Structure 1
């Protein structure tokens, strides 16, 4: 028998270190070639590390949350034959991280201290009892799925990162035959003294770093405008009725992407990146629209490339493909980088007003709020219209307030008269 040591690979793009996000194996596991061993996080994406050999895991080279240098020992596997290292060079096994949440003293880019034992036991069943006002972690898609199934999320045990509830957890809950009526009444009113300390690692650490960096470096300002989307919604419904069966259903997002593309022709300063270290603004002809997407591991921004050259259905297909890849953790680094302007929407949960954070080094982000029917006065008559707010943010170092207002007003005009979206 021999030992095969797998080192942290060179991910490319000049990256010298990456964060170990999650192990998919433990010491003692038998693995096969191409089996995913671990997930590592770069500045742009999650990357799977597969096994190049068959064998038995005998040592792990780090703990989740640890920042590891390229070339450092990631994992050691016992294999048939000589392996790729001498027996004496085998590294000492490391202890597995506890399954429950552990305390993190700091989230700086340095090796964390060994994790202490958890203070409270974690429920192992498919059902848990949370406080009535405790909001469990779950993506908007999971929340809607739970609502459709009539499941109270506070009763479902989450198996995702930091206890996040996944679609599989809802299925497990139903498979166990649990229902709202079966929840013990006493549990809903029982006092709780347990605590949970959640390590800020992986995607959540990257999101925290990027959001903090964006708010510290850019001079944010937001602008909110109300838009009457009755006409564009009628057009969308008509196109779906006529072509939905053959071309696919359209959401509002492809129309918003088209409105961005057309408006940017008159406001090219919005489709730009600002290098604040070199003090250079780069305006781009290509419109690469980042579409903020919530996944089970956090917010990701896949990129619809060359939106200026796409039709409504082409944009719709690409948005759906990228959103699915992001939610399933299959989006590549290229698909998650290179945007020039970002579109963010919470759909039906979009609220009335939001203040989106810039996706640096971009200088503009357009936020979409929910559509509501409201009485409006038009030509002296009170009529019911579908209204929606755009809550957008800009980098005041690059974009003047007047230009930002005019840009959003241009988008408003295009959406309120949707035929102008296609007039060249």
Structure 2
């Protein structure tokens, strides 16, 4: 007989609490195998593809695209025994216990996903014939028989309820989420994903007329109301007329939500100090031009960011405070003998800060390659969540946007962040003469609980010196 299992949303990164469904790669009736990619989700850190933990046939997608789901909530139902090979009658003629009855409440999971709590449940197969009208109480699977008193629970394993008892699995009826009725007792008909969309967008369902079957409010109805369609119970106000269709609302979620919370936490927890330095980087740019023609760098994308990254890891050796962490819970400052260098990257999903692990152990060529790969993966939204954890210091390259500098906010858990500005041709005094030079502005924000002004100034001066004269690295 069919054997249904539900796959819960796993915690794909440390501390993940929810994720949004981006794309389903399978649908009801599709055959799947272990490790086939079934869905792509967006967490607060990145887009992640989830593999299937079982062989079987998809019977139901429990979550719509665009819906946000909490970790541990089921997202898909799979029939792991579609041929019914596992089912067989018991030798005494009584119904056989369901497969795995001795392990009731436990289902197979991918490594690291954790056990699923609660009893395993079944859902009706979508390709099954439509049942007769459902009564309020479950009907047995077998043909109707004279009513008898139920046997004691210990006497025989109880048969599973028939699929018709799970009204939530039928494709047409609406199962509204709990909602507070309007003063007149009217509860609008809408599916849970539509209710959540309306809540996120600030649309009152009580004022909408559903265009779906039976008056059900659809996603299109909510979006039309948001776009400025007149609502029956609300007269346009001045603000509605002025803004109306010229405004749009986007739910705060995913990367944007996580970034916003992290910046607020950092800005109002760590006392920021920002210092600035203008540097003549002409020697660095000349060295870059020479290295690009060297055999070992011919296939490498060598950018000014790679030189800045090398300067940061070298300067951090002389001022380890900028690479430390303030641990308020333990009452300690944690000094780290490694550099996991964060690189702030703008992506279509928002700002992310992936890390170059052990950047202090890399050569300039290795750093250049790592930075290029990191940027490519980040722009595609494929950065693994683990690659955005446990950074020690960060660089934000605002120069790529033609910006001279800024006052960057420190990433939570770190003590310093360097902003690298645009490199411009500017007049500069050299040996008493004003000449055109390649000039760049640097800005360093640091946590004044960990880094004193003298330490922050020395670190910034060291970075500037290494960019102004790369040969200084020989003295480190």
Q: Determine if the TM-score, normalized by the shorter chain, exceeds 0.5.
A: yes
Structure (1 or 2) with the larger CA radius of gyration = 2
Match of residue 168, structure 2, among 77, 92, 102: 92
Displacement of 1:74? 2.0
Match of residue 210, structure 1, among 257, 262, 269: 262
Q: Deviation per CA, 1:343-401, whole angstroms, max 9, x where unpaired?
A: 11134314122111111110000111111111122222110011111122111121122
CA distance in 2, matches of 1:57, 1:205: 33
Match of 2:400, SS? helix
State whether structure 2 residue 154 is matched by structure 1 residue 118: no
Provide the residue aligned with 1:341 in structure 2: 393
State whether structure 2 residue 342 is matched by structure 1 residue 237: no
Provide the residue aligned with 1:22 in structure 2: 21
Match of residue 262, structure 1, among 314, 325, 329: 314
Equivalent residue runs for 1:8-87 within 5 Å? 8-11=9-12, 13=14, 15=15, 18-25=17-24, 29-31=28-30, 32-33=32-33, 34-41=36-43, 44-51=45-52, 52-56=54-58, 58-61=60-63, 64=66, 66=68, 68-70=70-72, 72-77=73-78, 80-81=82-83, 85-87=121-123
Equivalent residue runs for 1:373-388 within 5 Å? 373-388=425-440
* Larger mean Cα displacement after TM superposition, 328-337 or 400-409: 328-337
* Larger mean Cα displacement after TM superposition, 236-245 or 221-230: 236-245
Match of 1:375, SS? strand
CA distance in 2, matches of 1:57, 1:222: 56
CA 341–407 in structure 1, closer or farther in 2 if over 3 Å, else same: same
Residues 326, 449 of structure 2: 8 Å contact kept: no
CA 2–8 in structure 1, closer or farther in 2 if over 3 Å, else same: same
Q: Deviation per CA, 1:240-291, whole angstroms, max 9, x where unpaired?
A: 0223664523111221111112211221111111112222111111111111
Match of residue 397, structure 1, among 449, 452, 463: 449
State whether structure 2 residue 326 is matched by structure 1 residue 274: yes
Q: Following superposition, which runs of at least 4 residues in structure 1 exceed 6 angstroms of deviation?
A: none
Q: Deviation per CA, 1:120-169, whole angstroms, max 9, x where unpaired?
A: 688xxxxxxxxxxxxxxxxxxxxxxxxxxxxxxxxxxxxxxxxxxxxxxx
CA distance in 2, matches of 1:97, 1:69: 16
Residues 41, 202 of structure 1: 8 Å contact kept: yes
Displacement of 1:239? 0.5
CA 374–30 in structure 1, closer or farther in 2 if over 3 Å, else same: farther
CA distance in 1, matches of 2:284, 2:387: 29
CA 118–402 in structure 1, closer or farther in 2 if over 3 Å, else same: same
Provide the residue aligned with 1:137 in structure 2: none
Residues 27, 60 of structure 1: 8 Å contact kept: no
CA distance in 2, matches of 1:411, 1:28: 54
Which structure 2 residue ranges, 5 or more long, are not aligned? 85-98, 100-119, 124-160, 170-174, 176-190, 203-217, 228-242
CA distance in 2, matches of 1:384, 1:343: 27
Residues 59, 91 of structure 1: 8 Å contact kept: no
Match of 1:360, SS? coil
Instruction: Return the TM-score normalized by structure 1.
Output: 0.72
Match of 1:338, SS? coil
CA distance in 2, matches of 1:91, 1:25: 24
Residues 392, 414 of structure 2: 8 Å contact kept: yes
Give the superposed CA RMSD. Answer: 3.2
Count matched residues.
344
Match of residue 353, structure 1, among 405, 420, 432: 405
Q: Deviation per CA, 1:84-107, whole angstroms, max 9, x where unpaired?
A: 743447582574857xx866269x
Displacement of 1:119? 3.4
CA 316–57 in structure 1, closer or farther in 2 if over 3 Å, else same: farther
